[in-house]
């Protein structure tokens, strides 16, 4: 079972969109997928067609069984987030709270991949995700703030490696809402490549182009591959997933 975490300390960079597309893409490829929404906004669970006012990630971290919190949309299984997660810093015990997700997932073994969507901060919830992660995918846009967010996150990754998870791997930086027509995208790419080199990682060759179908698919609670299979969004995420899986074969 491999855990893939999507993160960046900056919001609005396509973390949830990328996590949704990757969960659906892996399921489409025949893998058994569990997705976990660690964000108090609950956008991943909502876009997956999740029910409201049911048990979710908060309860899973509190010790409830997978069966008690699990939902499915017929494509992948998922655990939904809700606003209670916003109180995680005060609700969970101070000692050992960084390992709650790892502890909960020890009882889970029926999946090939676990996809984790994180909030745009380096708080307790993101820390829990990194502690259990095999691969971190950093989502970013073509602006200076996203580059800074990547480097700040890298500092946190090094601390997590030193203290909790020495096997945490940065699979790469995924550029989203990318436009080959704008100068800013072209200008920022070398900066991301420099940042990736410092991290010992890479910038994925696949760039996710701005595509309204991605937003529409989330509103309609349908995976992009079902909602608009011929769209640039579907094609880009399929190419990204193939690139990720090829890298996985090479790196183990």
Could you report the average pLDDT of every consecutive run of 10 residues in the chain (252 residues)? 89 86 96 96 93 92 95 96 90 87 93 96 92 94 74 88 94 84 72 86 90 89 89 93 90 67
Distance of CA 149 to the CA centre of its chain: 15
Which residues are within 8 A (CB) of 90 and not within 5 positions of it... i.e. 6 or more apart?
none
Q: What does the alpha-carbon distance between residue 77 and residue 98 come to, in Å, rounded to a whole number?
A: 24
pLDDT, position 117: 96
pLDDT, position 144: 65
pLDDT, position 146: 72
Q: Which long-range contacts (CB under 8 A, 24 or more apart) does 166-170 make?
A: 167/134, 168/130, 168/133, 168/134, 168/136, 169/134, 169/135, 169/136, 169/251, 170/135, 170/136, 170/138, 170/199, 170/200, 170/201
pLDDT, position 155: 86
Cβ distance 217 to 223 under 8 Å?
A: yes
pLDDT, position 147: 77
β-bridge pairing 113-117 and 33-37: parallel
Whether pTM > 0.85 for this model: the answer is yes
Token pair belonging to 238: 């399929």
pLDDT, position 249: 83
pLDDT, position 34: 98
Token pair belonging to 3: 């855990």
Q: What does the alpha-carbon distance between residue 35 and residue 46 come to, in Å, rounded to a whole number?
A: 12
Q: What does the alpha-carbon distance between residue 87 and residue 104 come to, in Å, rounded to a whole number?
A: 19
Angle between helices 144-163 and 124-132 (to 10 degrees): 60
Secondary-structure percent of the chain, ordered helix, strand, coil, rounded to 5: 50, 15, 35
β-bridge pairing 135-140 and 33-37: unpaired
For 241, half-sphere exposure in the C-beta direction (CA atoms, 13 angstrom radius) is 23
Q: Which helix (H) or strand (E) holds 115?
A: strand 113-117
């Amino acid at each position: 079972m491999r855990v893939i975490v999507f993160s960046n300390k900056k919001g609005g960079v396509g973390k949830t969109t990328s996590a949704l597309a990757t969960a659906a893409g892996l399921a489409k490829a025949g893998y058994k997928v569990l997705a976990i929404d660690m964000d108090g906004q609950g956008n991943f669970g909502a876009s997956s067609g999740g029910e409201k006012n049911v048990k979710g990630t908060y309860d899973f971290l509190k010790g409830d069984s997978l069966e008690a919190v699990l939902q499915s949309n017929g494509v992948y299984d998922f655990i939904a987030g809700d606003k209670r997660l916003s109180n995680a810093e005060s609700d969970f015990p101070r000692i050992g709270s960084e390992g709650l997700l790892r502890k909960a997932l020890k009882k889970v073994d029926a999946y090939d991949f676990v996809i984790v969507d994180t909030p745009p901060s380096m708080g307790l919830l993101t820390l829990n995700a990194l502690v259990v992660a095999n691969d971190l995918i950093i989502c970013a846009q073509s602006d200076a703030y996203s580059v800074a967010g990547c480097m700040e996150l890298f500092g946190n990754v090094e601390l997590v490696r030193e203290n909790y998870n020495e096997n945490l791997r940065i699979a790469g930086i995924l550029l989203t809402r990318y436009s080959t027509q704008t100068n800013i995208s072209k200008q920022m790419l070398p900066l991301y490549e420099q940042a990736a080199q410092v991290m010992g990682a890479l910038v994925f060759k696949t760039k996710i182009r701005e595509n309204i179908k991605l937003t529409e698919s989330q509103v309609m609670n349908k995976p992009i591959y079902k909602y608009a299979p011929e769209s640039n969004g579907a094609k880009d995420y399929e190419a990204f997933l193939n690139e990720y899986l090829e890298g996985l074969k090479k790196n183990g």
